[in-house]
Structure 1
Amino acid sequence: MSCPNCTISAQEIVFDFSKHNQNNFIAIVSNHLERQHIQVKVKGQHLHVNEQGAMDLHDFCVHHSEMENISFRIGEQPWRTLVEFEQYSKSAWIDHVIQEERIINHFQPIVTAEKIIYGYELLARFIDQTGEMIYPDVIFSAAKQRGRLFALDRLCRLTAVKNTAQIDPTKKAFINFIPTAIYEPEFCLRSTINLANQLNVTTAQLVFEVVETEQVEDVNHLKRILNYYQLHGFHYALDDVGEGYSTIEMLTDISPDYMKLDRKYVNRVVHNNDKKAAAIRFLNKAKEIGATPLAEGVETEEDFLWLKQNGYQLFQGYLFGKPKERPIKQDEIN
């Protein structure tokens, strides 16, 4: 059975007219849509339509109602005012990117203190219809607007697992995932497990990396996801870890295999005492919970040497190699 959140199917959109000042406005709208031969379901003050009906409803309401008093939502997403519907509609291009799997991976090396390749982070890159790159912040913003974050995250995960085949099996593959894009670990992650097994990718090779670590609100949900990964033999990392209270507090409970120090504490750390202090606190916390400390965003030799001398074990950044469409070899490390 396919997951309805991870497939690009027609979306039912619900509109809420309970705050609208004109009591019979929902009847006016539904009659208008039915005259356009659009199927409508009315449940109390809620009106259910398909996307075409929603677009027609939006156009009708632009001239006939107070748009800020009408709300809409897709699936279990939060309610938004009708004023925001145009953003949702304009994000329809994301559906085609996902359906056509217009995604590639770029590989960035992760090295040891001796600059030996330890593994690679597989970074998702997206292509538009003309072959131009779509930046991740643009595409993930569109996916959120469109209610396609589940589907996009799944595509990214499975593509990265497939491309792990390009990596030396003795090296780790770090694969990003968004915790909020996984609503039920056993159901949502089954395809990831199955694909790894089909490709004979060992679980020990894969490291699933939590992005937006500082923004995690539901720690128990995150723990369920990581426990599921751990149960199946995978490792996991926390990305962009900083000094946020919530992050530091949850580290002991989560006990990640790897902790990645946010690049804002790495860049020019050798010249900034506050960054040095933050990097040391991070390192001590990693040691306390038994996690491997990884500094990302390393761009200069002097920052690398300071981090290395103070006990950091793994490193990632332009100093060693930029992301490329193929895994770079040991003799290409800067």
Structure 2
Amino acid sequence: MDCLNCTIHKRELTFNIPKQLKSLITKEFSHDTSSYIWKENILHTSEAASNDMVDFLREMNLTSGVTFAPLHKEWSSLDTFDDYRKTSWLDELIKEKSIKMYFQPIITQTGEIYGYELLARFFDKEEAIIYPDIIFPAAKLRGRTFALDRLCRMQAVKQIKRLYGNQKAFINFIPTAIYQPEYCLRATTDLAHSLNITSDRFVFEVVETEKVDDIEHLKSILRYYKKNGFSYALDDVGSGYNTLDLLGELEPPFIKLDMAFAQGVSHSKEKQLIAKSFLEKAHSYGGLCLAEGIEDIADFHWLKHQGYELFQGYLFGKPLPDPLIDKKINIGQF
């Protein structure tokens, strides 16, 4: 069984067409019957052919009641078709693997580089950066989240050879982009094992933790990682109303306090209470706490004093194309 949507193929679209329009469309495009496959009022066609049909319906002012859906996606109004069509560039980017991984250091209380979060940066044909806040919404609209998430994971895993000693690689993944872990993650785990690196140096990081609705599905993914010897982390902890309960259920080896609660924590009683509550929960089962988004040395000192073990943020280093040469950051310079 293959992982659904993990690779790029020619895109098929499905249209729900009002019955009164079926004969009109069939007649208009009778010269190309192979591109238009009907099942009652449901039309299956290629993306290229759908462009012509949608343009025709718009010209005739007949778009009312017509909906479309990419493979395995929900029905959408034709009002969003242009937005979908404009994201076609994404297919080529994924095919060509136009991606580089950037390294942001994660340090201990004393400044040793514990590992790096590997962050994806994408590039267009002119080598201009396309940032994640552009590309991931485009992938969601186009139904390419699965393929994009897989590409990022695979490219990130390969970078572990560039790290020193036992430094860990923190690698993001989107739980909703994984249907069944034994199929969707097989290539990732096979690649990691082939590198002859101890599995516990890989930390797979759940992003958008607060948006996870299917906790049982998330548990199945984490069990798969654990079975294969990998570690895992919950990202953006604190941003969801039920995150504290989630920690108790999942007991992740690493939790990452959301930057919204780390920044300014040294002088905010409210943020201090939140930071302490997650620290206590993590320590109750032996987890490590990582504070992200650190930009102020006062916040670092407060969190360190409370017992936070790991830190990440612009204060210690921005994401860069290469790991740092030094294995330790001089905290005394700040």
TMscore range, shorter length: over 0.9
Residues 1:78 and 2:77 are matched in the alignment: no
1:331 to partner: Cα distance? 4.7
2 CA distance for matches of 1:200 and 1:324? 25
Letter in 1 for 2:249: D
2 CA distance for matches of 1:251 and 1:278? 14
1 CA distance for matches of 2:232 and 2:63? 45
Report the secondary structure of 2:242's partner residue. helix
Residues 2 and 244 (structure 1), Cα distance of their counterparts in 2 relative to 1, 3 Å cut: closer
Letter in 2 for 1:9: H
2 CA distance for matches of 1:268 and 1:141? 29
1 CA distance for matches of 2:244 and 2:189? 29
1:74 to partner: Cα distance? 1.3
Alignment check: 8 A CA contact 2:3 2:179 kept: no
| Superposition map of 1:269-284 within 5 A | 269-284=265-280
Letter in 1 for 2:8: I
Residues 244 and 15 (structure 1), Cα distance of their counterparts in 2 relative to 1, 3 Å cut: same
Alignment check: 8 A CA contact 1:300 1:319 kept: yes
1 CA distance for matches of 2:330 and 2:54? 54
Alignment check: 8 A CA contact 2:115 2:168 kept: yes
Residues 1:107 and 2:92 are matched in the alignment: no
Report the secondary structure of 1:330's partner residue. coil
Look up the match of 1:90: 86
Residues 1:179 and 2:199 are matched in the alignment: no
2 CA distance for matches of 1:31 and 1:273? 70
1:64 to partner: Cα distance? 2.5
1 CA distance for matches of 2:206 and 2:253? 12
Report the secondary structure of 2:9's partner residue. coil
Report the secondary structure of 1:56's partner residue. helix
2 CA distance for matches of 1:254 and 1:260? 14
Alignment check: 8 A CA contact 2:237 2:255 kept: yes
2 CA distance for matches of 1:232 and 1:325? 29
Residues 106 and 211 (structure 1), Cα distance of their counterparts in 2 relative to 1, 3 Å cut: same
| Superposition map of 1:1-334 within 5 A | 2-17=2-17, 20=18, 23-36=19-32, 39-242=35-238, 244-328=240-324, 329-333=326-330
Can you give the 5+ residue segments of structure 2 that lack an aligned partner in the other structure?
none
Letter in 1 for 2:200: A
1:166 to partner: Cα distance? 0.3
2 CA distance for matches of 1:137 and 1:204? 30
Letter in 1 for 2:95: Q
Equivalent pairs counted in the alignment come to 330
- Please give the TM-score of this superposition, normalised by the length of structure 2: 0.95
Residues 47 and 210 (structure 1), Cα distance of their counterparts in 2 relative to 1, 3 Å cut: same
Letter in 2 for 1:171: Q
Alignment check: 8 A CA contact 2:112 2:328 kept: no
Alignment check: 8 A CA contact 1:239 1:259 kept: yes
Report the secondary structure of 1:115's partner residue. coil
Structure 1 segments, 4+ long, off by >6 Å, are none
1 CA distance for matches of 2:270 and 2:65? 48
1:205 to partner: Cα distance? 0.6
1:3 to partner: Cα distance? 3.5
Alignment check: 8 A CA contact 1:110 1:120 kept: yes
Report the secondary structure of 2:233's partner residue. strand
1:181 to partner: Cα distance? 0.6
1:4 to partner: Cα distance? 4.5
2 CA distance for matches of 1:172 and 1:234? 11
2 CA distance for matches of 1:44 and 1:250? 45
Q: Deviations over 1:242-300 (max 9, x none)?
A: 15233222222211110000000011111211111111111112122332111000111
Residues 333 and 65 (structure 1), Cα distance of their counterparts in 2 relative to 1, 3 Å cut: farther
**Range moving further from structure 2, 165-174 or 23-32:** 23-32
**Range moving further from structure 2, 29-38 or 40-49:** 29-38
Alignment check: 8 A CA contact 1:68 1:83 kept: no
Residues 116 and 332 (structure 1), Cα distance of their counterparts in 2 relative to 1, 3 Å cut: closer
Letter in 1 for 2:327: Q
Letter in 2 for 1:90: K
Can you give the 5+ residue segments of structure 1 that lack an aligned partner in the other structure?
none
Alignment check: 8 A CA contact 2:113 2:328 kept: no
Letter in 2 for 1:330: K
